[in-house]
Structures are given as structure tokens and as C-alpha cells.
Structure 1
Amino acid sequence: MDWLGIGVLVIGVALLVLVILLIKPLNKLAGVFANLQKTTDELPQTVVDVTSQAKEAIGAGTDTLKQINTQLKELSPLFYIVGDVGRATNQMSSSMVDAVTKMESKTTAANDLTHRKNLEGLYGALTLGFFIFQKSRELAKERNVIDVN
């Protein structure tokens, strides 16, 4: 045998040893690829299931939002009424504050006179009598209204 034949024989034996050493890892790699194939075969169905569940959840959310919007449309006139009542109450209270301020400014001079002449007790008693008189008239009117019905 010449040198070329010996070299080819050595290379062949080396490749045979390499193949024998790589058989076990290559078989394990083949098993990994088989499991990967099983996983990827199931993947499209899993994606379909997930997307269908997502569609159902989004549909339910949309339906809920539609119901809420419908209910809010039904309630919005009530909110407008409450807002109008609030504005009217605000205007009425500001009008009352203005009236009280005007009354206070008008009665300042009379109040000074009362303090100078020491008539606070007399005016207090007259005021109390006036309020009692008004209250008795209101109660009498209420009794008449109740009796009529």
C-alpha cells in the first residue's frame, strides 16, 4: 500500500469513530426535533382557541359598554335636572344673601339707636311676639288646607 491508501484508510477509520461517537447525541437531537414537531403541530389550534376566547371577551366587553351607554342616555335627563336644581338653588341662596346684606345695611342705623336708648329687650320681645304670631297663622292655614282635603 502506498502512502495515499494509508492516508485514506486513516481518514476512513477516523470518520467511522466520529460517526460512532455522534450516533447517541444525534438520536437525542432527533428526539428533540420530534417533540418540537409535536408542539408546533398543536400551536395553530392553540392560537385559534386563544383568539376565539379573546374575541368572546371583547364581544362581552362591547355589549357591556353598549348597555352602560344606553343606561347613561336614560339617566342623562336626570343629571340635567339635578344640575338645573343646583343652579337654581345657588341663585336663590345668592339672592337671599343679597337680601340679608341689604336688610343688615338698612337696620344698622336702627340698631345703633336701639343700643343708645337701651331698647334691646323691648325689640327682642316684640320680634319674638311677631314670629309667634306668624307661626300661628301658618299653622292655622295648614289646618284649613288639611280640613278641606
Structure 2
Amino acid sequence: MDWLGIGVLVIGVALLVLVFLLIKPLTKLAEVFDNLQKTTSELPDTVEEITSEAKKAISSGTETLQQINTQIKELSPLFYIVGDAGRATNHLSSSMVEAVTKMETKTEAANDFTHRKNLEGLYGALTLGYFIFQKSREFNKEKNVIDVN
């Protein structure tokens, strides 16, 4: 029984030394848990503030998008007009290219003379003027037909 008592005494002293060694780390761990408790108790308020700010930002973004949408709806007729003008310009320029091409094929025999005398620009300008004259004549005819009715 003596050996058993000595063994229990040695184990008790070892546990007592272990408790004294662990007191400092356990108090630090208790402080960490206390700080964690404070942080987590403030967390709902912080999350509420963040979500309210996010709601405000989203609502202002939605309002801005609605304003932009209404402004674009107001500007859409202008875009249609610009598109129509672009198509009309494209049609006019393609008609002018066709007229110049037809004139060039008709005057292919005089082409050597034109290149020798550097008259390409002059003939191009004359062709363009003739084409514009024809188109204005057609436009005036159409206008007179519309006015009569």
C-alpha cells in the first residue's frame, strides 16, 4: 500500500504542476473568448447597418436606371431619325456610285485621253453635278405631283 500511496502522491503533484503551468494560457484563452463574445454581440448591429446601406445603394441605383430608361425612351425617336438619315445617305451615295460607274463605262474610250490630261477629277465633278441635276428634277416632279393632289 505504501507504493500505491507514493504513486498517487506523484500523480497528484504532477497534476498540480500541470495546473500551474496551464493557468496563464487558460487565462489568455478566456480573454480571447471574452473578446470574441464582445465582437459577436456587436455583429448583428454591424450587419444591420451594412444591409441598410446596401439597400439604400441598390434603391438609388434602381432610381438612376429608371431615369436613364425614361431618357432613352425620349431619345429613341431621335435615334430613328438618325438611322433614317443614314439609310437615305447610304442610298444616295450608292446611287451616285452607280451613276459614276455608268458614266465611266460609257466613256471608256476617252479614258486614255482623260488619264493623259489628268482630267479624272473634272469628269467626276461633272458627273456628280449631272447626277444631282437629274435627282433634283425628279424630286421637283414628285413634289408637283404631290402638290396637285
1:84 aligns with 2:84: yes
What is residue 54 of structure 1 aligned with on the other side? 54
Output the TM-score relative to the length of structure 1. 0.65
Q: Structure 1: which 5+ residue stretches go unaligned?
A: 116-126, 128-149
Gaps of 5+ in 2: 115-125, 127-149
User: Structure 1 residues 106 and 11 mapped into 2: Cα distance closer, same or farther (>3 Å)?
Assistant: closer
Looking at structure 1, the residues matched to 28 and 97 of structure 2 have their Cα atoms a distance apart, in angstroms, of: 92
Distance in structure 2 (CA, Å) of the matches to 1:107 and 1:25: 105
Rg comparison, structure with higher value: 1
Matches within 5 A, 1:62-101: 62-101=62-101
Structure ranking higher on relative contact order (CA contacts 8 Å, 6+ apart): 2
- Provide the alpha-carbon RMSD of the alignment: 2.5
Pair 5,96 (structure 1): closer, same or farther in 2 beyond 3 Å: same
Relative distance call for 1:13 and 1:92 in structure 2 (3 A) is same
Distance 2:8 2:74 in 1: 93
Higher mean displacement: 72-81 or 41-50: 41-50
User: Percent of counterpart pairs with the same letter?
Assistant: 76
User: Which residue number in structure 2 is paired with residue 7 of structure 1?
Assistant: 7
What displacement does 1:87 show?
0.7
Q: Distance in 2 between matches of 1:55 and 1:82?
A: 39
Deviations 1:19-42 (A, max 9, x none): 122111111111111111111111
Q: CA deviation at 1:106?
A: 4.7
